[in-house]
């Protein structure tokens, strides 16, 4: 992803590892400050997942893969059995950081499988280092492919709605839903993006709008409740969102508010696409009903920037995600093909 710092444009990934340190673009600070959070061990990387320094399904997965590598590198005994036990504990710990995005679980199983085949602790450490990097590289490559394939769905002069942040910040690079949008822009198509601000954490207005600004892609931020209005007026002609988990029956779990957007899109005859790599597909689960939806702190709703906006005795409910049934989805853009 291109980032302009002091007038200079540089390419950044959202998460990467150098030595035993994991670097993360600190997403809590954007759009006002561009800072890299440097995590020294798996506990700090796990904290970064929980505190949403890194967020978005594929980025969480990549951070988890690097956390496993960090844990392996810190182990300083030679007994392989002890090592396996220790890594199982680490995996269990990381798993509990955020419950909904499947990529977290996918990345942990991927790493565990690779490490388990080692004959010695030293070999396991080497494998962990290499495979965590391979994992992140593959995510970036898959998101690029999603962009190249999905771009074909975007006609010149399209006005596209997106929800939450499904950009490079949510993956390692390119993004999921934002990847086709990026490629349409790179290919010279005239496009405009409607960005849902995405209450309560504002991933749209803080992160998606920042990414689009960095690349000079035309966009307008809208409040979450305005999408229906613009659809009815014919100002939106395509919707692309990401996913945190896709179940066997193709229910899509994504940021709270996605379901409503899908229903209004159908009502207005507007195509509704989901963009996701294979690491988001959970075919162990039959439908969205079986998913644990993260319920976050009510303070995210009751306060804005530390200032209470609701009456002292009011309470709030704050589910992070919702479930969009398959019948509202026109297609799913994967790295291999577009599933209709």
One of 13, 55, 159, 245 touching ligand MRU (CB under 6 A) = 55
Q: Which two tokens stand for residue 1?
A: 């992803």
* Residue 83 or 321 with smaller CB distance to ligand MRU: 321
Q: For residue 46, what is the enclosing H or E element?
A: helix 42-50
One of 176, 214, 247, 279 touching ligand MRU (CB under 6 A) = 176
The three-point CA angle 73-119-82 to 5° equals: 60
- Between the two ends of the chain, the Cα-to-Cα distance in Å is 29
By CB under 6 A, residue 320 contacts ligand MRU? yes
Give the range of 51-59, 82-90, 151-159, 186-194 binding ligand MRU by CB under 6 A. Answer: 51-59
By CB under 6 A, residue 200 contacts ligand MRU? no
Give the range of 16-24, 30-38, 50-58, 265-273 binding ligand MRU by CB under 6 A. Answer: 50-58
- In angstroms, the Cα distances linking 253 to 199, 240, 272, 282, 325 are 17, 14, 14, 11, 9
Q: In the bound complex, what is the minimum distance in angstroms from residue 3's beta carbon to ligand MRU?
A: 19
One of 164, 172, 270, 285 touching ligand MRU (CB under 6 A) = 164
Q: How far is CA 284 from the centre of its chain?
A: 20
The length of the chain is: 340
One of 15, 30, 57, 222 touching ligand MRU (CB under 6 A) = 57
Q: Which two tokens stand for residue 276?
A: 């996701």
Residues of span 230-259 touching ligand MRU by CB under 6 A: 242-244, 254-255
CA dihedral 137, 272, 155, 223 (to 10 degrees): -90
Cα 76 from Cα 90, distance rounded (Å): 15
Catalytic residue among 103, 244, 251, 322: 244
By CB under 6 A, residue 140 contacts ligand MRU? no
Sign of CA dihedral 221, 223, 227, 229: negative
Site string for ligand MRU, 257-296 (x = CB under 6 A): ----------------------------------------
Pairing of strands 307-308, 303-304: antiparallel
Tell me if residue 244 is catalytic. Answer: yes
By CB under 6 A, residue 204 contacts ligand MRU? no
Nearest to 18 by CA among 45, 38, 42, 44: 38
Give the range of 56-64, 70-78, 116-124, 263-271 binding ligand MRU by CB under 6 A. Answer: 56-64
- CB-CB contact of 3 with 10 (8 Å): yes
Give me the active site residues, please: 244
- Where on the chain is the footprint of ligand MRU (CB under 6 A)? 55-58, 101, 164, 166, 170, 176, 203, 242-244, 254-255, 320
């Amino acid at each position: 992803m291109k980032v302009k710092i002091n007038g200079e444009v540089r390419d950044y990934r959202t998460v990467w590892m150098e030595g035993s340190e994991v670097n993360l673009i600190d997403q809590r600070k954007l759009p006002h400050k561009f800072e890299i959070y440097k995590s020294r061990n798996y506990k700090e990387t796990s904290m970064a997942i929980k505190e949403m320094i890194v967020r978005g399904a594929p980025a969480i997965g990549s951070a988890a893969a690097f956390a496993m590598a960090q844990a392996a590198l810190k182990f300083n005994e030679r007994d392989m059995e002890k090592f396996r036990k220790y890594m199982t504990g680490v995996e269990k710990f990381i798993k509990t950081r955020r419950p909904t995005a499947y990529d977290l679980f996918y990345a942990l199983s991927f790493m565990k499988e690779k490490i388990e085949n080692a004959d010695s602790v030293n070999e396991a450490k080497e494998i962990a280092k290499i495979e965590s990097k391979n994992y992140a590289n593959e995510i970036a490559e898959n998101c690029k492919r999603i962009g190249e394939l999905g771009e074909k769905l975007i006609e010149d002069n399209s006005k596209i709605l997106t929800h939450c942040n499904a950009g490079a910040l949510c993956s390692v690079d390119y993004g999921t839903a934002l990847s086709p949008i990026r490629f349409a822009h790179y290919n010279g198509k005239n496009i405009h993006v409607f960005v849902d601000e995405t209450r309560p954490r504002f991933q749209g207005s803080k992160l998606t709008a920042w990414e689009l600004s960095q690349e000079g892609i035309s966009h307008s931020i809208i409040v979450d409740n305005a999408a229906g209005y613009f659809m009815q007026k014919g100002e939106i002609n395509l919707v692309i969102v990401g996913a945190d988990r896709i179940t066997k029956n193709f229910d899509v779990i994504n940021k709270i508010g996605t379901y409503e957007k899908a229903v209004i899109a159908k009502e207005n005859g507007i195509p509704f696409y989901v963009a996701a790599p294979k690491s988001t597909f959970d075919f162990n689960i039959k439908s969205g009903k079986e998913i644990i939806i993260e319920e976050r702190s009510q303070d995210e709703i009751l306060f804005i920037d530390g200032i209470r906006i609701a009456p002292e005795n009011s309470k709030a409910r704050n589910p992070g995600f919702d479930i969009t049934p398959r019948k509202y989805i026109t297609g799913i853009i994967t790295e291999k093909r577009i599933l209709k």
